[in-house]
């Protein structure tokens, strides 16, 4: 209920002794529900539980500021349990039963693709906080994680320019994000003159634990006399035995550096990192970023969790950015109506934790700096490279034949997720 109407009702109550029997129902209407759709069990819980926690912290902080539009926010937390079809079921419940105004959730691309048609059908809003493969743009999804040109390609450039890497192992978990990202990286590497025989691609299942054979194969591939690196799109708890096996077989960063796209401070918290010192990760944020805003965020996080050992990471920062953007857009629109909020989100800028402001672009991707970090003994990252400015997320890759002519712009009159600049036609919602 809007403030002016509340004041009018209050005046009527004073003037005419209006009974307040309806107060509990009225109070219920003064709550805005926010969906939190992250795996709290299963193979992805190692990564996603922290994202649930940071959303609860952000909602609590916003409520201390007075909520949004004069209403308190209420988190509706569900556990899709690393079960991709269950993500869609839980998303439908959040939108139809709980009537959430927005949802913050998913980690893997397969979970995002599972819920995408639900959010489009029911006209919901999803903020997706994790790096992904691109090749998608939906009116109902706001991609606050990195597109390939904001993570994967800059990481390869760093290895080429700073490490002199000539041979490439593209090692991933067997699902859409690694496969599509590696397809883009293969095309990119070949555009840089890398030959087929200098690229090795391999996939393993979610939760893969026996890495002895694969690490031995990586060592063999790296023994051809050319500098070799591993580009890792391994996701979830499979990372722990992978890094342990690298250490077991003596694979050092000085010999075959590994650059990871899904390993951050949270994943390293469960590993003896001493043998991994010097291996790399590419993100848009690290806990080790040295500025006042990040120090304040870290202090709030440790106080909220009542645990000085809890770490921060990149997808958490993406939720911080996305949540701030949603609050700002709702206040700008003066309503939680999804159509009005979707329109209001484009162009919204908020501070990020790495430095500067991130902006929501017409393709529903945000501007982000790109950082390369080296693993340290304490499980943190020493930032060895950072882009001088912010990079605009590219939803359609310039290196794939079917994508290089596509753009996304959700503003009227275009309102298209995959507009072909050569044919002048829109292909629809832009689902890959």
Would you say residue 326 lies in a domain? yes
Q: Is the pLDDT of residue 12 over 90?
A: no
How many structural domains does the chain have?
2
Claim to verify: residue 94 and residue 158 sit in the same structural domain: no
Would you say residue 399 lies in a domain? no
Decide which of 368, 402, 424 is a domain's last residue.
Answer: 368
Claim to verify: residue 283 and residue 296 sit in the same structural domain: no
Q: Residues 302-347: pLDDT tens digits? A: 999 999 999 999 999 999 999 999 999 999 999 999 999 999 999 9
Residue pair 391/403 in contact (Cβ under 8 Å)? The answer is no
Residue 270's domain comprises 149-288+373-392
Would you say residue 96 lies in a domain? yes
Q: How confident is the model at residue 246 (pLDDT cuts 50, 70, 90)?
A: very high
Claim to verify: residue 344 and residue 378 sit in the same structural domain: no
Q: How confident is the model at residue 13 (pLDDT cuts 50, 70, 90)?
A: very low
Q: Taking residues 8-27, report their average pLDDT.
A: 36
Own/partner long-range contacts of 196-200 (Cβ < 8 Å, ≥24 apart): 198/166, 198/167, 198/168, 198/226, 199/167, 199/168, 199/170, 200/167, 200/168, 200/169, 200/170
Claim to verify: residue 154 and residue 269 sit in the same structural domain: yes
> Average model confidence (pLDDT) for the chain?
91
Claim to verify: residue 215 and residue 95 sit in the same structural domain: no
Q: Taking residues 137-153, report their average pLDDT.
A: 97
Claim to verify: residue 223 and residue 296 sit in the same structural domain: no
Q: Residues 345-370: pLDDT tens digits? A: 999 999 999 989 999 999 999 999 99
Would you say residue 432 lies in a domain? no
pTM of the entire structure? 0.88
Q: Residues 57-98: pLDDT tens digits? A: 999 999 999 999 999 999 999 999 999 999 999 999 999 999
Q: Is the pLDDT of residue 430 over 50?
A: no
Claim to verify: residue 53 and residue 83 sit in the same structural domain: yes
SS3 sequence, the chain?
CCHHHHHHHHHHHHHHCCCCCCHHHHHHHCEEEEEEECCCCCCCHHHHHHHHHHHHHHHHHHHHCCCECCEEEEEEEECCCCCHHHHHHHHHHHHHCCCCCEEEECCCHHHHHHHHHHHHHCCCCEEECCCCCCCCCCCCEEECCCCHHHCHHHHHHHHHHHHCCCEEEEEEECCHHHHHHHHHHHHHHHHCCCCHHHEEEEEECCCCCCCHHHHHHHHHHCCCCCCEEEEEECCHHHHHHHHHHHHHCCCCCCCCCEEECCCCHHHHCCCCCHHHCCCEEEECCCCCCCCHHHHHHHHHHHHHHCCCCCCCCHHHHHHHHHHHHHHHHHHHHCCCCHHHHHHHHCCCEEECCCCCEEEECCCCEEEECCEEEEECCCCCEEEEEECCCCEECCCCCCCCCCCCCEEEECCCCCCEEEEECCCCEECCCCCC
Q: How confident is the model at residue 275 (pLDDT cuts 50, 70, 90)?
A: confident
Would you say residue 38 lies in a domain? yes
Would you say residue 268 lies in a domain? yes
Instruction: Residue 326: give its domain's CATH number.
Output: 3.40.50.2300
**What was the pLDDT predicted at 276?**
85
Would you say residue 340 lies in a domain? yes
**What was the pLDDT predicted at 17?**
34
Would you say residue 222 lies in a domain? yes
Q: Is the pLDDT of residue 135 over 50?
A: yes
**What was the pLDDT predicted at 25?**
38
Claim to verify: residue 269 and residue 256 sit in the same structural domain: yes
Claim to verify: residue 385 and residue 355 sit in the same structural domain: no
Claim to verify: residue 139 and residue 223 sit in the same structural domain: no
Claim to verify: residue 317 and residue 383 sit in the same structural domain: no
Q: Is the pLDDT of residue 255 over 50?
A: yes
Claim to verify: residue 138 and residue 99 sit in the same structural domain: yes
Q: Is the pLDDT of residue 244 over 60?
A: yes
Q: How confident is the model at residue 21 (pLDDT cuts 50, 70, 90)?
A: very low
């Amino acid at each position: 209920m809007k403030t002016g109407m509340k004041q009018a009702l209050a005046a009527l109550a004073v003037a005419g002794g209006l009974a307040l029997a309806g107060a509990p129902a009225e109070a219920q209407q003064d709550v805005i529900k926010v969906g939190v759709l992250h795996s709290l069990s299963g193979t992805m819980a190692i990564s996603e539980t922290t994202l649930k926690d940071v959303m609860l912290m952000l909602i609590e902080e916003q409520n201390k500021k007075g909520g949004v539009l004069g209403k308190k926010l209420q988190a509706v937390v569900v556990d899709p349990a690393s079960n991709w079809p269950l993500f869609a079921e839980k998303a439908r419940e959040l939108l139809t039963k709980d009537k959430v105004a927005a949802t913050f959730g998913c980690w893997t691309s397969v979970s995002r693709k599972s819920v995408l048609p639900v959010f489009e059908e029911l006209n919901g809003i999803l903020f997706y906080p994790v790096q992904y493969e691109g090749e998608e743009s939906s009116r109902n999804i706001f991609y606050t994680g990195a597109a390939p040109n904001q993570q994967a390609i800059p990481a390869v450039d760093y290895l080429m320019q700073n490490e002199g890497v000539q041979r490439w192992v593209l090692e991933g978990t067997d699902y859409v994000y690694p496969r599509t990202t590696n397809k883009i990286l293969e095309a990119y590497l070949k555009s840089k003159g890398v030959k087929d025989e200098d690229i090795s691609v391999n996939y393993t299942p979610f939760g893969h634990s026996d890495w002895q054979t694969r690490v031995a194969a990586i060592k063999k591939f790296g023994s051809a006399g050319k500098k070799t690196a591993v580009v890792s799109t391994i996701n979830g708890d499979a990372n722990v035995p992978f890094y342990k096996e690298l250490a077991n077989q003596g694979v050092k960063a000085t010999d075959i550096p590994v650059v990871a796209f899904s390993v951050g401070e949270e994943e390293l918290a469960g590993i003896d990192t001493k043998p991994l010192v010097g291996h790399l990760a590419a993100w848009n944020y690290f806990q080790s970023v040295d500025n006042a805003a990040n120090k304040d965020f870290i202090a709030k996080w440790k106080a909220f969790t009542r645990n000085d050992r809890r770490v921060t990471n990149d997808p958490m920062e993406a939720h911080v950015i996305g949540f701030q953007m949603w609050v700002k857009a709702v206040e700008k629109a003066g309503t939680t109506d999804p159509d009005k909020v979707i329109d209001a989100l484009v162009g919204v800028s908020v501070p990020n934790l790495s430095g500067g402001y991130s902006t929501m672009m017409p393709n529903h991707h945000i501007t982000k700096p790109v950082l390369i970090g080296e693993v340290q003994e304490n499980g943190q990252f020493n930032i060895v490279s950072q882009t001088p400015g912010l990079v605009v997320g590219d939803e359609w890759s310039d290196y794939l034949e079917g994508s290089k002519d596509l753009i996304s712009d959700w503003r009227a009159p275009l309102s298209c997720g995959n507009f072909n600049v050569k044919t002048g036609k829109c292909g629809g919602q832009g689902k890959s």
